[in-house]
Amino acid sequence: MADSLTDVARALNVSPATLRRWVAEGIVPLRDGHWTPAALAQARIVARMRARGHSLAEVRGAAKQGRLAYGYLEDLFGDESAPRTLDEAVEATGMEAELIRRIWTAAGFPAASLDALSDDDLELLRAFGAVLDAGLPLVAFLQIVRVYGQALAQIADAEVKLFHLFVHEPMIRDGAPVLEMAEELSGLASELLPLSGPIMESLHTRLLRHFLEQDVVGHLELVADDAALGRMRVAICFADLAGYTRLTEEVGEEEALEVVERFVELVTETLPEDARVIKTIGDEVMIVGTDLGALVDWAVGFQALQTERPLPRIGLHAGSVLYRDGDYYGRAVNLASRVAARATGGEVLVTREVRAVAGRHLGFQPIGEVKLKGFDDATELFLAHAAVR
């Protein structure tokens, strides 16, 4: 590592005089006059911010508050190979340039970055090629890559933001010295980062086993509806909190968010084994399962446990859907969402398709044929509840 001001200035492509001024003003703090990894990382961040047009006053304020201490993260990855071009990637992988571009952008990377690839990037592209060589259809592979990219982007974003909110920000509030803050964050991250890979690998293996078992159990139900590629028959449920917007106005965003988090956590913990949360949008949860009867039982039982407002409202439907990129699309999904929107707090509304399959231990009160937004034909709805004995 560079250990003199001149070496550091050359590495950052700034003049020694500029770097000396940053040190003198405390923008880049040194440890007893020596360039530590944390100091070098902070200088790299300062150089980048200046190159992007941030004023020296802005950079000085951020530096003195400790808000640039994230520079240490760049030293944790260690890939300092010379940039490789797309042409070199074609030669290294044997894949055509257009195929590489499709895969790369499907993973969520900008196409422009294909002209500045690292050795690790080339290894990733070789792995992509090996999967295709193994015989997985391209249409399926692109969907898997897209799901991987979206899921891992969410994971990486959460890692950085949560680390910032619960580790970095408390240090700033406590007034920790800038260099000590950077070094402590660097030490903590260097211990945690190597653990993320094994944790995600173990979680993936465990969940993959679960969904393989569920696919075997529900295979006939999934494919019986339609022979079209990518289409399957499932049970769809939407649940949200009635009056959530009003709650936000009454108690504030943070407390309302805690209510949503408890709601989503309770939904996730109580779902039947074959069902899972596909996504959350605000306070709304989308659930898909293969056992329609079990999902109706869950919905009625879940509502029976609710005593605090705002009460959930739940809508269920079953039908043929299109599966793309880890999500479900089609008329059946839209209908289930509209059914849930028609319910009031504490209710479980279902369609005739659900009523026909549900067990006799449940009761169903006819609501009548209801015109739902976005649908030309009226939909017959039923209010599901535990049967009176």
Distance of CA 247 to the CA centre of its chain: 26
Which segments within the chain are labelled E, that is strand?
Answer: 231-241, 276-281, 284-289, 312-324, 327-329, 348-351, 362-370, 379-386
pLDDT given at position 77: 64
Tokens representing residue 58 in the block: 């802005």
Q: Is residue 361 over pLDDT 60?
A: yes
* pLDDT for the residue 220: 45
Q: Does residue 227 register a pLDDT over 70?
A: no
Is it the case that residue 3 has pLDDT exceeding 80? no
CB-based contacts of 35, cutoff 8 Å, min separation 6: 1, 2, 3, 4, 5, 8
Helices (H), 107-225: 119-133, 138-163, 169-173, 178-223
Higher pLDDT, 220 or 320: 320
Name the range with the highest mean pLDDT among 34-43, 66-75, 335-344.
335-344
Structural domains of the chain in order of their starting residue, each with its CATH number: 5-64 (no CATH), 86-207 (no CATH), 224-386 (3.30.70.1230)
Looking at residue 263, what is its pLDDT? 92
Q: Residue 310: is the preceding peptide bond cis (ω within 30°)?
A: yes
Of the candidates 353, 314, 319, the one whose C-alpha atom is nearest the C-alpha of residue 333 is 319
Nearest to 182 by CA among 79, 76, 80: 76
